[in-house]
């Protein structure tokens, strides 16, 4: 069994341009999610909506460790992953509007974002459903001798599913190039982790499958990025799967339908003191890498991007009713 360790941020030299990119990326996710909540309240977005506020450091830090040829599999809380992976904000919002210019032609909505051009394979509404998909993608890469890594995001709730254990077991047996990333926000929907897991150190569960496993502060983008890069390098070098437990927290309710009766407002406010955007902003200012003018420009640029994305989604078109059965029923007839 591989020994689990907790990886922490090192006070190393930080390139200014890269630092501003990381900050801008987290702000892009936060502002997109803010706009999604606003549009949902205005009934522009319908159906289910799960927002990512508070967890931005995980998506940004991990995705920075991947190449464009690597595959990404995510959960239904995936807007931020898709955005940073390269799916445009306009394409994401068009999908949530249900317009045919959306990344899934408006048929998937918030939980089923998909974009093969960026190797972003969901957006999966089933808890744990992305794990076997990731194993399959990694198996295909290994069989065809491609030097790719498949990165699979999932929440702590997925650890209770059979797919988790089956997927990690197969990945370990076959030494598949998978980076498993558990976004542990302490609540599987409305159930606290302590009520569902006898062992709450989730990295230990992965280690039991002989997979190198580490826990990292998921509120610290530098810590996440460093841990992800180290893990990805090992996976790409042929060492088999690796597992990261990113310990994080979502600031909003599980979904827009959630009454949020399972945790106190005081608990949420306490976690907000560790906001990954605010703490990173202060870190950069203290190191002399960020000025107020820099921050204002980032906010202004992101505001413009989101504004253009909304305008794009509003101008997009509805799919014709005549296409209702397209991609659903086959027109081929048996003789």
Please check whether residue 334 lies inside any domain of the structure. Answer: no
Q: Would the pTM of this model clear 0.85, i.e. be above it?
A: yes
User: Which residues, given as ranges, of the chain have pLDDT below 70?
Assistant: 1-12, 330-335
How far does Cα 69 stand from its chain's mean position? 17
pLDDT at 1: 44
The residue written with tokens 């027109």 in the block is: 331
Q: Say what angle helices 221-234 and 276-286 make with each other, to 10 degrees.
A: 100
The residue written with tokens 């005081």 in the block is: 266
Please check whether residue 331 lies inside any domain of the structure. Answer: no
**Is 279 in contact with 22 (CB distance < 8 Å)?**
no
pLDDT at 329: 72
Please check whether residue 88 lies inside any domain of the structure. Answer: yes
Please check whether residue 333 lies inside any domain of the structure. Answer: no
**Is 138 in contact with 176 (CB distance < 8 Å)?**
yes
The CA-based dihedral angle spanning residues 98, 102, 107, 108, taken in that order and rounded to the nearest 10 degrees = -100
pLDDT at 12: 55
Q: For residue 22, what are the domain limits?
A: 5-323
Total domain count for the chain? Answer: 1
What span, in angstroms and rounded, lies between the C-alpha atoms of 215 and 148? 23
Phi-psi region of 9 (alpha: psi -120 to 50; beta: other; left: phi over 0): beta
Please check whether residue 335 lies inside any domain of the structure. Answer: no
Other CB atoms within a 10 A radius of the CB of residue 69 amount to 11
pLDDT digits (tens, 9 = 90+) for 287-319: 999 999 999 999 999 999 999 999 999 999 999
CATH number, domain at 74?
3.40.50.970
The β-bridge partners of 183 are: 155, 246
Please check whether residue 180 lies inside any domain of the structure. Answer: yes
Please check whether residue 186 lies inside any domain of the structure. Answer: yes
| CA dist list (Å): 31 to 17, 80, 328 | 21, 10, 34
Please check whether residue 59 lies inside any domain of the structure. Answer: yes
């Amino acid at each position: 069994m591989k020994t689990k360790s907790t990886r922490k941020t090192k006070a190393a030299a930080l390139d200014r341009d890269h630092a501003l990119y990381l900050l801008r990326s987290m702000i892009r996710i936060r502002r997109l999610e803010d706009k999604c909540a606003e549009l949902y309240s205005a009934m522009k977005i319908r159906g289910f909506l799960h927002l990512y506020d508070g967890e931005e450091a995980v998506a940004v830090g991990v995705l920075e460790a991947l190449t464009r040829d690597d595959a990404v599999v995510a959960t239904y809380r995936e807007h931020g992953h898709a955005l940073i992976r390269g799916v445009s904000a306009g394409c994401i919002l068009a999908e949530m509007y249900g317009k045919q210019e959306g990344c899934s032609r408006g048929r998937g909505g918030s939980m089923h974002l998909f974009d093969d051009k960026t190797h972003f394979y969901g957006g999966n509404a089933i808890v744990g459903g992305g794990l076997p998909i990731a194993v399959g993608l990694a198996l295909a890469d290994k069989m065809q001798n491609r030097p790719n890594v498949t990165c699979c995001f999932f929440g702590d709730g997925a650890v209770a599913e059979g797919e988790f254990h089956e997927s990690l077991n197969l990945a370990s047996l076959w030494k598949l190039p998978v980076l498993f990333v558990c976004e542990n926000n302490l609540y599987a929907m409305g159930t606290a982790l302590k009520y569902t897991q006898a062992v709450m150190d989730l990295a230990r569960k992965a280690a039991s499958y002989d997979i190198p496993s580490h826990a990292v502060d998921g509120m610290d983008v530098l810590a996440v990025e460093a841990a992800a890069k180290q893990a990805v390098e090992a996976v790409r070098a042929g060492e088999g799967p690796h597992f990261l437990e990113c310990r994080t927290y979502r600031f909003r309710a599980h979904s827009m339908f959630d009454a949020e009766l399972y945790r106190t407002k005081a608990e949420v406010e306490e976690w907000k003191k560790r906001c990954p955007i605010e703490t990173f902003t202060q870190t950069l200012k203290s190191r002399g890498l960020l000025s107020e003018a820099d921050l204002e420009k980032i906010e202004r640029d992101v505001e413009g991007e989101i504004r253009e994305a909304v305008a794009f989604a509003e101008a997009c078109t509805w799919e014709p009713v005549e296409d209702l059965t397209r991609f659903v029923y086959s027109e081929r007839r048996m003789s």
